[in-house]
Amino acid sequence: MSTELQFIVNAGGVLSGDLRVPGDKSISHRSIMLGALAEGVTHIHGFLEGEDALATLQAFRAMGVEINGPTAGEVTIQGVGMRGLRAPGQALDLGNSGTSMRLLSGLLAGQGFPVTLLGDASLSKRPMGRVVRPLQQMGADIETTGAGTAPLVMKPVRQLSGIQYVMPVASAQVKSCLLLAGLYAEGETRVTEPAPTRDHTERMLQTFGYPVTRSGEQCGVQGGGRLIACDLDVPADISSAAFFLVGASIAEGSALLLRHVGVNPTRCGVINILRLMGADIDLLHAREAGGEPVADLRVRSAPLRGIHIPHDQIPLAIDEFPVLFVAAACAEGETVLTGAEELRVKESDRIQVMADGLAALGIEVRTTQDGIVIQGGQLQAGEVDSHGDHRIAMAFAIAALRAQGPIRIRDCANVNTSFPDFAAFAKRSGLAIEAAHA
């Protein structure tokens, strides 16, 4: 008997209320990693209790770190210091979490013990050569499959060496991987990125007292330092807020207040792009929490128009494109995205899977190798397959706000990787959604 989780979302609805979406996934991962390596006790508030962040937490427990929680977003970590991790008794299974695998490959490359990193079927297809190659330049001993994918088999080395690395593709995960490896390298590790990417690692290292040098498109660390425990307040995740920013924009009569959302300038592409399309979004009560800028976001419905998405916004919105494609489907005119080939190697090929789903719902779309062209139109009722991609499942749930009939979304269990209880949360805000096993 099949137990596939599906979302069935009835057409129409209005989003309203005062909401706080779950904690930021990127920051939750990093809070566990740095808290574990710090000296002293780190207290985390607002931790995301999704499967991806929990995979990171379990990995550090397996390496001998005492972690209490999470309980209602509260986590306490007894730091073991930079050299206090122990070899795990078995391979570390990181589930669906690409962030866990790529960042841990850097952090563990210089630890001095053997470790193997595994993932689920989806993660085992994602490219790891982009982190393995520069780590090998630093002296790491890492093996992948012949296809450059997980499992990653890591053997101890005497010492890593700092490198100057120019990234061929903008990727916060590659940058973070190398900076974390650089903590254990002799000399300086410096990374040059071709376009700005999220800088949560650099900010959090400094919050834990570890110096980071930044100059233009370069950032670097000197090996051999210390991390000092601290208290961290994890902002609400802008990637999760994005579904409600789009939903309230496209559903006439909607008005939402989204509380305590992280508005790091390296993550604000979704706001910038929606505003270019005509969205009515205000940032209120801007402040700082745990080294990160946060604000309350007020969004009201507004007519959207198609645009050519600026290239400089792509790395700043790389995780939000599935729901931005829904906004494009509801906009007047044509939306064009180019230069986004990175979307083809996410949890799914997000260009193709979104194009197939939008086409099944009656929207005119055309894909290119590095992008998509979407003609705004009328969404119809229909069935779509998320291909196990959490962000695609949630994006099509939001699409029902402007559909002419119900939308059934298949293969939705992985929504729990980033947004536990999404269906119940969205229902409270006005989405006519039910989760069912079929």
Residues 143 and 187 grouped into a single domain? yes
- pLDDT value, residue 251: 98
Residues 204 and 344 grouped into a single domain? no
pLDDT in tens, 85-106: 999 999 999 999 999 999 999 9
Inter-CA distances, 7 with 51, 316, 347, 423, Å: 19, 29, 19, 8
Last residue of a domain, one of 166, 200, 233: 233
Q: Which of 251, 268, 282, 292 is nearest to 399 (CA)?
A: 251
- pLDDT value, residue 2: 54
Q: SS3 of 253, please?
A: coil
At residue 287's C-alpha, the angle toward residues 281 and 290, to 5°, is 120
Cis peptide before 151 (omega within 30 of 0): yes
- pLDDT value, residue 169: 87
Residues 251 and 389 grouped into a single domain? yes
CB 77 within 8 A of CB 41: yes
63 CB-near residues (< 8 Å, 6+ apart): 36, 85, 86, 87, 88, 92
- pLDDT value, residue 310: 97
Q: What is the mean pLDDT of residues 145-169?
A: 96
Phi and psi angles of residue 226, each rounded to the nearest 5 degrees, phi first? -125, 150
CB 254 within 8 A of CB 302: no
Amino acid 40 reads: G
Cα-only R_g, the chain: 21
Q: What is the mean pLDDT of residues 345-371?
A: 95
Residues 285 and 226 grouped into a single domain? no
What burial class does residue 1 get, using C-beta atoms within 10 Å of its C-beta: 0-12 exposed, 13-18 middle, 19+ buried?
A: exposed
Q: Which of 379, 254, 398, 290 is nearest to 34 (CA)?
A: 290
Residues 207 and 252 grouped into a single domain? no
Q: What is the DSSP letter of 223?
A: S
Find the domain containing 118 and state its range: 25-233
Alpha helical stretches, state H, 251-298: 269-276
E-strand stretches of 156-197 = 160-161, 164-166, 185-186, 188-192
User: Which positions are annotated as active-site residues?
Assistant: 319
Residues 131 and 37 grouped into a single domain? yes
Q: SS3 of 180, please?
A: helix
Confidence of residue 1 (pLDDT cuts 50, 70, 90): very low
> Residue 187 region, left (φ>0) first, then alpha (ψ -120 to 50), else beta?
left
135 CB-near residues (< 8 Å, 6+ apart): 105, 106, 109, 142, 177, 178, 181
- pLDDT value, residue 11: 97
Q: What is the mean pLDDT of residues 31-38?
A: 98
CB 350 within 8 A of CB 340: no
pLDDT in tens, 304-337: 999 999 999 999 999 999 999 999 999 999 999 9
Residues 228 and 310 grouped into a single domain? no
Residues 86 and 162 grouped into a single domain? yes
Residues 60 and 113 grouped into a single domain? yes
Last residue of a domain, one of 177, 205, 233: 233
Q: How many domains does the chain have?
A: 2
- pLDDT value, residue 289: 86
Last residue of a domain, one of 233, 257, 273: 233
Place of tokens 């309203």: 16
Q: What is the CATH number of the domain that holds 288?
A: 3.65.10.10
pLDDT in tens, 105-127: 999 999 999 999 999 998 999 99
Residues 182 and 295 grouped into a single domain? no
Residues 343 and 307 grouped into a single domain? yes
Phi and psi angles of residue 256, each rounded to the nearest 5 degrees, phi first? -130, 150
Residues 226 and 253 grouped into a single domain? no
